[in-house]
């Protein structure tokens, strides 16, 4: 009898909610998750057949379009702390947390922990983040997110896209350390924007860190060309950095022939020079392999990866990379 009374009470509450004109409906929330993991076998001389499994990244995100002009997103990221510390447990931290105001699809402004303008744009075009970070991110030249405000939009049906931001400059993993701020701007022109199968985005990017008193400015600049034609995807970029009288930079070229039903080839070459005034410090990074996409966000790749310094012995190994998500 008590159970029947409880069920009747629940039914009456739901019935009242259904007819209550003052009831406020919560906006829909889109939840997603993505995991990057790998197995690596070290072929470097003296490595002693070292091999390991590891979790590279785990993302959990929730995004809501609360009104036609107001949205929000929260992304939690899990990864290891810097391996120079004593504690290297996999930790959860905030990757994105922003409030968005938009005029529709054309212009969006975000405040909080927001994406930066270059690396996320390149990753969205090329994919393959689960295999390797883009060069500017891998070499810690640019962060993928930071705390601040940005604005972005598209013009002429996608012919031109742009991104501008004012950020702390330290990246999302560090608090503001001084009074300086970083301004960033990206402009991309895709003359093939009206085509569903072809794309040729040509991108220019600049980041300038305005220093506090007695500090050093940091200038980062990049130029890139993306190529999308049937069965081939490519990205070619040069990224440079100048600070305190030291210039560094490098180029990266990625080509990926693709047959969607079967798989893709991965061919990538990075060349990085940490100090253009010094000799013997440059190196090349080579990645080659195959990948297969089981679903939109579920893929496996088998790669051979090699880092060849200008001076010294190379390091290399064989890797199996995986991503799974929804």
Which H/E stretch holds residue 52? Answer: strand 51-67
CB 180 within 8 A of CB 201: no
Contacts of 129 by beta carbon, 8 Å cutoff, 6+ apart: 36, 123, 323
Q: What is the 3-state secondary structure (H, E, C) of 28-48?
A: CEEEEEEEEEEEEEECCCCCC
**pLDDT surpasses 90 at 215:** no
| pLDDT averaged over every residue in the chain | 90
CA distances from 25 to 22, 32, 53 (A): 10, 22, 45
Contacts of 252 by beta carbon, 8 Å cutoff, 6+ apart: 134, 135, 235, 236, 237, 239, 268, 269, 270, 271
CB atoms within 10 A of CB 211: 18
Of residues 19 and 213, which shows the higher confidence score? Answer: 213
CB 136 within 8 A of CB 117: no
pLDDT in tens, 240-265: 999 988 999 999 999 999 998 899 99
pLDDT in tens, 144-179: 999 999 999 999 889 999 999 999 998 888 888 778
pLDDT computed for residue 82 by the predictor: 66
pLDDT computed for residue 135 by the predictor: 96
What are 39's strand-pairing partners? 53, 320
Rounded-to-integer distance, Cα 215 and Cα 180, Å: 9
Lowest mean pLDDT among 48-52, 83-87, 243-247: 83-87
Tell me which residue of 111, 197, 204 sits closest to 160, measured CA to CA.
204
pLDDT computed for residue 22 by the predictor: 59
27-325: CATH topology is Porin (2.40.160)
pLDDT computed for residue 84 by the predictor: 60
Work out the pLDDT band at 211, boundaries 50, 70, 90. confident
CA distances from 194 to 50, 190, 259 (A): 49, 9, 23
């Amino acid at each position: 009898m008590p159970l029947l009374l409880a069920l009747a009470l629940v039914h009456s509450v739901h019935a009242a909610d259904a007819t209550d004109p003052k009831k406020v409906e919560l906006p829909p929330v889109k939840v997603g998750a993505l995991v990057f993991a790998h197995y690596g076998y070290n072929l470097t001389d003296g490595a002693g057949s070292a091999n390991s499994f590891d979790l590279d990244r785990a993302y959990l995100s929730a995004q809501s379009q609360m009104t036609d002009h107001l949205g929000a997103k929260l992304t939690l990221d899990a990864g290891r702390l810097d391996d120079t510390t004593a504690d290297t447990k996999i930790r959860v931290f905030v990757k994105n947390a922003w409030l968005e105001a938009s005029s529709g699809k054309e212009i969006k402004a975000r405040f909080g922990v927001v994406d930066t303008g270059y690396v996320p744009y390149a990753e969205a075009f090329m994919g393959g983040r689960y295999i390797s970070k883009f060069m500017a991110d891998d070499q810690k030249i640019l962060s993928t997110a930071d705390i601040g405000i940005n604005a972005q939009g598209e013009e002429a049906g996608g012919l031109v896209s742009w991104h501008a931001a004012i950020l702390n400059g330290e990246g999302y993993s560090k608090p503001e350390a001084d009074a300086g701020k970083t301004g960033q701007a990206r402009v991309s022109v895709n003359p093939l924007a009206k085509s569903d199968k072809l794309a040729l985005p040509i991108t220019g990017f600049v980041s300038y860190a305005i220093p506090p008193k007695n500090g050093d400015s940091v200038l980062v600049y990049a130029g890139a060309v993306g190529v999308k034609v049937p069965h081939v995807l490519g990205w070619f970029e040069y990224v440079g950095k100048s600070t305190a009288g030291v210039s560094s930079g490098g180029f990266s070229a990625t080509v990926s022939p693709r047959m969607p039903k079967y798989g893709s080839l991965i061919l990538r070459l990075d060349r990085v020079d940490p100090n253009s005034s010094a000799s013997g410090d440059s190196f090349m990074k080579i990645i080659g392999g195959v990948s297969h996409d089981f679903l939109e966000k579920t893929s496996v790749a088998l790669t051979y990866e090699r880092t060849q310094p200008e001076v010294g012995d190379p390091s290399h190994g064989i890797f199996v990379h995986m991503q799974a998500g929804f």
